[in-house]
Amino acid sequence: MRDPRADFPILGEPVHGRRLVYLDSAATTQKPRQVIEAVADYYRRLNANVHRGAYDLAVRATEAYEDARAAVAAFVGAPDPRGVVFVRGTTEALNLAASSLGRLKVRAGDGIVVTAMEHHSNLIPWQLLAQERAARLEMVELTPQGELDVDGYRRALERRPKIVAFTHVSNVLGTINPVAELARLAHEAGAVVVVDGAQAVPHLAVNVAELGADLYAFSGHKMLGPMGVGVLVGTPELLDAMPPYHGGGEMIRTVQDTTATYAPIPHKFEAGTPNVAGAVGLKAAIAYLGALGMAEVAAHERALTGYARERLAAIEGLRLYGPEERAGVVSFTLADIHPHDLATIVDSEGVAIRAGHHCAQPLMRRLDVPATARASFYVYNTREDVDALAGALEKARALFGYARA
């Protein structure tokens, strides 16, 4: 993969007088100037509201917006751009899914299956739905290695749940779930499959059609795109059948005083003025990733993650979580130093890592830790970044009174 660092202005901004070593891309990624410029350029040249204007600017803004939709569809292998719904991010996508699918499918006593490695965004919407509908929410456990317990998953399917929701890639352990297999099993059991792709689309070549997910969610801001734009991809048949989510402008066909009929997909799910600039920026991010090559991106991360696991494992008292085979996320704890203290200490060396429960409290309980420290990698990270992290962790050990190994 070509070295893209020069494209990221923020990497030139010193932190505490040091070079920024940004290792928190699982939370949000930095943006290349190509994306920053695409957004600015949209506002400078073709900003207008979409879908409603008979004038030139509105036509061009609408084209830009629909081009972005087509680019997203192509990037994730969605056969039909009508299956691409723009939302704010993964969280909104999953709430939309839970709310609309819930009304379509879930009655009292019905089952909904999630896993113990879900981000809160793929858990709380199902909790709320289960509470509202008096449905049964079941959580599939993990193996000691931090992989999904597929036997437990099969058992959960025997009760024929209406909906199965799981993450493609764990944001804590890096575990990559066998989505195609899990989806096939769920379909055999008659369930609709909802996949949280927030940590997958940025890092792996994803093809939703091959995976067989009925609904698939991800965020633009985690894949070099702007904040405030994300995607729910669905099969047109399912989206067609689902009742609308938000009511408002753009999503209607005709409106009477107390009733309305709705527009075809995807517009049925896009009430109100969308984030057109965000979609345009996401398209630029997709073009950027496409030029790097998703296979190369994945290989780069794999190499870096392997190196990081090696370097970190050599630190005395450091414990790594999660399976060997994984995406570019490394969670760890170090002796009795609380992850929050670790984050503060490595920050003083310019190294940005995350500490906490990573919005995955059920998983934390299973790991039997209140929190972990997490380093996550992306296209702009290097082996030097890993070295900087390792060095900063040694400093933490020293501050907490541990002798150098």
Ligand X SMILES: Cc1ncc(COP(=O)(O)O)c(C=O)c1O
Task: Using CB under 8 A, count the residues that bind another protein.
Answer: 30
Asked if 219 interacts with ligand X (CB under 6 A), we say yes
Q: Which of residues 319-358 bind another protein (CB under 8 A)?
A: 336-341, 344-345, 348, 355-357
Q: What is the footprint of ligand X within residues 358-397 (CB under 6 A)?
A: 359
Which of the ranges 10-18, 174-182, 207-215, 310-318 carries the binding residues for a copy of itself, by CB under 8 A?
10-18
CB of 57 to a copy of itself, least distance (A): 6
Count other Cβ atoms within 10 Å, centred on residue 74. Answer: 14
Kindly report the length of the chain: 405
Distances (CA, A) of 274 to 45, 48, 85, 250: 18, 11, 10, 10
Give bridge partners of residue 15 from the DSSP assignment.
18
Q: Give the chain's largest Cα–Cα span.
A: 75
Active site positions, annotated: 359
55 binds a copy of itself (CB under 8 A): yes
Q: How many CB atoms lie within 10 A of CB 314?
A: 10
Query: Which range of residues in 25-33, 172-180, 187-195, 388-396 is near a copy of itself by CB under 8 A?
Result: 25-33
- Choose the one of another protein, a copy of itself, ligand X, none that binds residue 43, judging by a C-beta under 5 to 8 angstroms depending on kind: a copy of itself
Count of beta carbons in the 10 Å neighbourhood of residue 165: 28
Sign of CA dihedral 243, 249, 252, 255: positive
Sorted by sequence, the CB contacts under 8 Å of residue 205 that are 6+ apart come out as 294, 295, 298
The interface with a copy of itself within residues 139-158 (CB under 8 A) comprises: 139
The C-alpha atoms of residue 10 and residue 261 are separated, in whole angstroms, by: 47
Amino acid at 11: L
Smallest gap from residue 361 Cβ to a copy of itself (A): 4
The residues of the shown chain that bind another protein, judged by CB under 8 A, are 16, 51-54, 58-59, 252-254, 263, 336-341, 344-345, 348, 355-357, 361, 364, 370-371, 399-401
* Site for ligand X, rule CB under 6 A: 26, 89-91, 119, 121-122, 167, 171, 196, 198-199, 219, 230, 249, 272-273, 359
